């Protein structure tokens, strides 16, 4: 296995798994991670997206910065804020 790993550019665990189970591997879906802040805001974001889809393309809003102030969210903008 140590000789095969660098030659195939795979980890030893992957090679070990392939030797143990030669059949097609299945993708295992994990349960969704909890999102306590975003779960409460999903309906608001979906409503905003529906409103924006109804508008002409050049009049659509880009407003993730409005989210905490308008809806009383706690936490940071994180990935939603392109400037931050």
Average pLDDT of span 30-42? 81
Cα-to-chain-centroid distance, residue 18: 29
Residue 61: its pLDDT value, please?
72
- Name the average pLDDT for the chain: 75
d(C-alpha 13, C-alpha 25), whole Å = 14
Does the pLDDT at position 37 exceed 80? no
Residue 46: its pLDDT value, please?
85
Q: Which residue has the tokens 């659509």?
A: 60
Whole-structure pTM value: 0.41
d(C-alpha 54, C-alpha 49), whole Å = 9
Q: Which residues contact 54 (CB under 8 A, 6 or more apart)?
A: none
**Percent of the chain residues topping a pLDDT of 90:** 4
Burial grade of 60 (CB within 10 A; 0-12, 13-18, 19 or more)? middle
Average pLDDT of span 31-44? 81
């Amino acid at each position: 296995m140590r000789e095969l790993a660098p030659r195939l550019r795979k980890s030893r665990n992957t090679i070990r798994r392939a030797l143990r189970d030669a059949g097609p591997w299945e993708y295992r879906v994990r349960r969704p991670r909890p999102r306590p802040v975003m779960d409460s805001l999903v309906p608001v974001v979906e409503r905003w997206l529906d409103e924006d889809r109804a508008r002409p393309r050049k009049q659509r809003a880009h407003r993730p910065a409005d989210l905490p102030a308008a809806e009383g969210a706690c936490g940071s903008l994180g990935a939603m804020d392109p400037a931050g």
